[in-house]
């Protein structure tokens, strides 16, 4: 007997998690918008634009963290180049936002400002169609997917594993960064894209647009979590963790690890691309520094801090680390990187299961004490 997909997806999370997810969505879609729009700025209940942008940004990071957990926590493959897929999604959507500026740029031209500055007369071929939301939405997923597929196919086929794989992914994102730094590449060089005005015709800085983007990000994060939970609970997920733990055994019972790794690798890249596309309109800028190796390493730190292979842990990790970052970079900007390094060392040495592992340990101790 085959179970319908809806029932399978419903059984991906337990009751408590569904309730938590419902509360999260209610907060993001109802409570925060109401607090933002209905209370004056000096009210204690007012949620500021700054807060909404910050949380929206962190939710995008959390989405990347879940994508990273799928490949690292469950697949056992540590990518130190996930920032690349995030940036590709961001750039793809940024192209659309650049086109939405229309003639309101500094030069009042049809072409984006940086092209006018470079004295280009027409759009490069890969910008064709970038004024169409539908086409760009497709690119947001397709570009990371194709890059991930091609790279992953050769890497996994050659059975490149462990630290070698991680180093190659670092090199990949670094090479892409250098490429995007060049003006001739056609993505605005080191300035990237910024000064966005509109999205789908609506002003990008208005409260309503911000709240819609915020809500969309929350919905995407929630949906990704459900999808990821379903994925890891399926037989596919069990094969994936089996590959992580004993790859030779999985081959000798007839699974080809290549296609399993490639599938989760591409899914992970696509999720990062979507996160990047949601990030750019909220933050208002995308430039090649998003591809810097340090950014990708930070993604791994979020996941490690929250707890690998738990799905919820990486979301917690992304929030904890990034909230700490935004506090540190205001209060003690020069110490942030030291703190980040320290955090990584402490987590690696003392909390191999991250915050979620710590929580579980504490709960278990409490249970023992009660007995």
Partner 1 sequence: MLNTVNIFEDDRPEGSDGADQMGHFVTGELDLSHGVALYLEDITVSFDGFKALNNLNLEINAGELRCIIGPNGAGKTTMMDVITGKTRPDSGKAFFGQSIDLTRLTEPEIAHVGIGRKFQTPTIFEQHTVFENLELAMKTDKRVWKSLMAWLAGDERDKIAETLRLIRLDGEADRQAGLLSHGQKQWLEIGMLLMQEPKLLLLDEPVAGMTDDETMRTAELFVSLAGKHSLVVVEHDMAFVEKLGGLVTVLHEGSVLAEGDLATVQNDQRVIEVYLGR
Q: Does 6 bind partner 1 (CB under 8 A)?
A: no
List all residues 6 or more positions away from 303 whose beta carbon is below 8 Å from its beta carbon: 65, 68, 69, 72, 73, 313, 314, 317, 354
Smallest gap from Cβ 354 to partner 1, in A, equals 17
Span from 41-49, 51-59, 155-163, 183-191 in contact with partner 1 (CB under 8 A): 155-163
**CA angle 230-21-309, nearest 5°?**
45
Q: Does 157 bind partner 1 (CB under 8 A)?
A: yes
Binding test (CB under 8 A) with partner 1, winner from 51, 182, 223, 249: 249
Q: Does 350 bind partner 1 (CB under 8 A)?
A: no
DSSP single-letter state for residue 46: P
Q: Could you tell me which of 62, 50, 63, 59 has the C-alpha nearest to residue 27?
A: 59
Q: Could you tell me which of 321, 303, 290 has the C-alpha nearest to residue 75?
A: 303
Q: How many helices (H) and strands (E) does the chain have?
A: 16, 4
Span from 89-97, 233-241, 284-292, 335-343 in contact with partner 1 (CB under 8 A): 233-241
Q: Does 242 bind partner 1 (CB under 8 A)?
A: yes
Contact 216, 54 (CB under 8 A): no
What residues from 8 to 27 belong to the interface with partner 1 (CB under 8 A)?
Answer: 8
Place of tokens 């998003």: 290
Q: Does 72 bind partner 1 (CB under 8 A)?
A: no
Q: Does 158 bind partner 1 (CB under 8 A)?
A: yes
Span from 47-55, 129-137, 236-244, 352-360 in contact with partner 1 (CB under 8 A): 236-244
Span from 2-10, 16-24, 30-38, 212-220 in contact with partner 1 (CB under 8 A): 2-10
What angle, rounded to 10 degrees, do the helices at 293-306 and 49-69 form? 80
Closer residue to partner 1 (CB): 14 or 245: 245
Smallest gap from Cβ 168 to partner 1, in A, equals 17
């Amino acid at each position: 007997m085959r179970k319908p997909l809806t029932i399978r997806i419903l059984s991906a999370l337990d009751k408590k998690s569904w309730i938590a997810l419902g509360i999260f969505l209610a907060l993001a879609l109802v409570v925060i918008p109401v607090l933002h729009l209905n209370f004056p700025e000096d009210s204690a209940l007012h949620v500021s634009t700054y807060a909404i942008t910050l949380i929206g940004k962190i939710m995008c990071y959390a989405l990347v963290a879940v994508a990273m957990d799928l490949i690292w926590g469950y697949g056992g493959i540590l990518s130190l180049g996930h920032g690349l897929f995030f940036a590709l999604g961001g750039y793809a959507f940024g192209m659309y936002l650049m086109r939405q500026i229309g003639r309101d740029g500094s030069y009042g031209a049809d072409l984006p400002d940086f092209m006018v500055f470079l004295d280009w007369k027409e759009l490069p071929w890969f910008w064709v169609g970038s004024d169409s939301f539908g086409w760009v939405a497709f690119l947001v997923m397709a570009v990371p997917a194709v890059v991930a597929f091609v790279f992953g196919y050769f890497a996994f086929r050659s059975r490149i594993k462990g630290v070698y794989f991680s180093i190659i992914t670092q090199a990949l994102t670094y090479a892409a960064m250098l490429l995007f730094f060049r003006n001739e590449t056609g993505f605005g060089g080191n300035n990237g894209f910024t000064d966005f005005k509109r999205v789908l015709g609506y002003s990008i800085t208005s409260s309503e647009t911000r709240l819609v983007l915020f809500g969309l990000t929350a919905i995407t994060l929630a949906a990704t979590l459900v999808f990821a939970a379903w994925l890891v609970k399926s037989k596919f997920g069990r094969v994936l963790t089996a590959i992580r733990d004993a790859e030779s055994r999985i081959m000798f019972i007839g699974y080809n690890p290549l296609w399993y790794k490639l599938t989760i690798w591409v899914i992970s890249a696509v999720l990062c691309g979507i996160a990047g596309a949601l990030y750019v309109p909220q933050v208002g800028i995308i430039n090649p520094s998003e591809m810097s190796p340090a950014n990708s390493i930070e993604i791994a730190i979020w996941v490690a801090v929250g707890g690998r292979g738990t799905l919820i842990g990486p979301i917690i990790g992304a929030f904890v680390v990034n909230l700490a970052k935004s506090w540190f970079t205001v209060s003690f900007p020069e110490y942030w990187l030291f703190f980040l390094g320290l955090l990584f060392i402490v987590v690696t040495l003392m909390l191999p299961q991250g915050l979620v592992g710590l929580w579980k340990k504490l709960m278990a101790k409490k249970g023992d004490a009660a007995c």
